[in-house]
Amino acid sequence: MSPLANRHAAKLNGIGNEIAVLDLRGTGLTVSGAEARAIARGDGLAFDQLMVLHEPRSTGTDAYMTIYNRDGSQAESCGNGTRCVAFILLRGTPREKLVLETAAARLECQRKAETVFSVDMGRARLAWNEIPLRDPFHDTRTIELQIGPIDAPILHTPSAVNMGNPHAIFWVDDIEAYDLGKIGPLLEHHPIFPERANISLAHVISRTHIALKVWERGTGLTRACGSAACAALVAAVRKGLTDRRATVSLPGGDLDIEWRQSDEHVLMTGPVEFEFETRLDPNLFKDIAA
C-alpha cells in the first residue's frame, strides 16, 4: 500500500483556481508525479495545483512546499495555492503572518481578513536567461514570437516575465476572441520556452484594471492563476500601460496586484474558499503500487 493512503488532504480554491493541500510535515514522505496524478483522480480532488507541505528547510520559515500541476509536473510558484496553504496553517490560531518556502522563492503571507490573504511573491525576473528563453532578447517587454501566418498572425509579440515560473503575456483587445484552449498548448511547448511557459491573454481596461485569461503550464485552461496576474501587472507597468497597482480580473474573480516601488516586490491579495477535507483513498494508488 502506498504510504500516502489515508493521508489527510484538503481541497480549496483561490478565485476558482482549484487547489489541493497535502501536509506531509513530520512524515519524511514525498510525492511522485504519478502519485500526484493519482490524487487528482480522487473524488472531488481534481486540482490545478497540489501543494505538498514538508518540514522547513530554512530558519524562520513555517514549511517547505513542493507544487505539482495536474499532469504530475512540478511548478516553482503558485500564488493562489500559497494563499490556500496560509489559510490552512493559520486557521484557528492567533497568528496573522507566516513564511513559506519553495524551490524558487521565500513567500511571506499575511492574513487580511478571515479568508483574505496577501502574499509577497518577491521580485520578478526579467532577463531572457532568467525567464528562461531560448534566444537572448535584450528587451523582454516584447519578444519575437507569433502564431499564425507571418503576414497576419493570430497572436504576436508577447511580454515575458518570470514570477517563480515563466510567463508569456499577449496583449489583445478581447481576451475571449481567441481559442486559448487550442492555442495555449502550442505556445506552452514552443521551443522558445525551454522550461515551457504559462500563456496569458491580457486586455488593459484602464490604468488600474486588467482582464486576463490563462493557459497554465501543466494544467491547461484555469479560472485563475495568481503568478500570471502578477506577471501581467509587471509587464503592463514595464510597457507603460498601467499604474503599479491594479485589479486583475480573471474568469474566477479579482486579485489586487501591486508592484511595490520601494523594493520591486510583487504583492498579491485575494480570497480563499475552503471546500472540504478528506483522506486519500488507498485505491487511488493501487496501480502505482502494483
pLDDT digits (tens, 9 = 90+) for 81-121: 999 999 999 999 999 999 999 988 899 999 999 999 999 99
Q: Which of 278, 244, 274, 237 is nearest to 262 (CA)?
A: 244
Do the domain assignments include residue 3? no
Note the pTM of the prediction, 2 decimals: 0.92
Instruction: Using the predicted structure, report yes or no on whether residue 16 has a pLDDT greater than 60.
Output: yes
Q: Which residue has the higher pLDDT, 12 or 42?
A: 12
225 given a catalytic annotation: yes
On whether both 87 and 141 belong to a single domain, the answer is: no
84 given a catalytic annotation: no
Do the domain assignments include residue 1? no
Which residue is catalytic, options 78, 84, 109, 230? 78
User: End-to-end distance of the chain based on CA atoms, in angstroms?
Assistant: 9
Do the domain assignments include residue 267? no
On whether both 102 and 162 belong to a single domain, the answer is: no
On whether both 162 and 42 belong to a single domain, the answer is: no
pLDDT at residue 152, rounded to an integer: 84
User: How many domains would you assign to the chain?
Assistant: 2
Q: Which of 81, 80, 66 is nearest to 32 (CA)?
A: 66
Q: Which of 46, 48, 55 is nearest to 27 (CA)?
A: 55
pLDDT at residue 104, rounded to an integer: 81
On whether both 135 and 96 belong to a single domain, the answer is: no
pLDDT, tens only, 54-79: 999 999 999 999 999 999 999 888 99
The CATH number linked to 217 is 3.10.310.10
Phi, psi of 68, deg, nearest 5: -115, 140
Instruction: Using the predicted structure, report yes or no on whether residue 230 has a pLDDT greater than 60.
Output: yes
Domain carrying residue 23: 8-122+273-289
pLDDT at residue 289, rounded to an integer: 57
Do the domain assignments include residue 105? yes
Do the domain assignments include residue 217? yes
On whether both 129 and 230 belong to a single domain, the answer is: yes
Query: DSSP for 101-140?
Result: E-SS-EEEEEEEETTEEEEEEEEPB-STTTTT-SS--S-T
Which residue is catalytic, options 84, 109, 225, 230? 225
Confidence of residue 212 (pLDDT cuts 50, 70, 90): very high
On whether both 257 and 131 belong to a single domain, the answer is: yes
pLDDT at residue 47, rounded to an integer: 95
On whether both 129 and 118 belong to a single domain, the answer is: no
18, 276 in Cβ contact below 8 A? no
pLDDT, tens only, 131-161: 999 999 999 999 999 988 888 888 999 999 9
Do the domain assignments include residue 2? no
On whether both 131 and 251 belong to a single domain, the answer is: yes
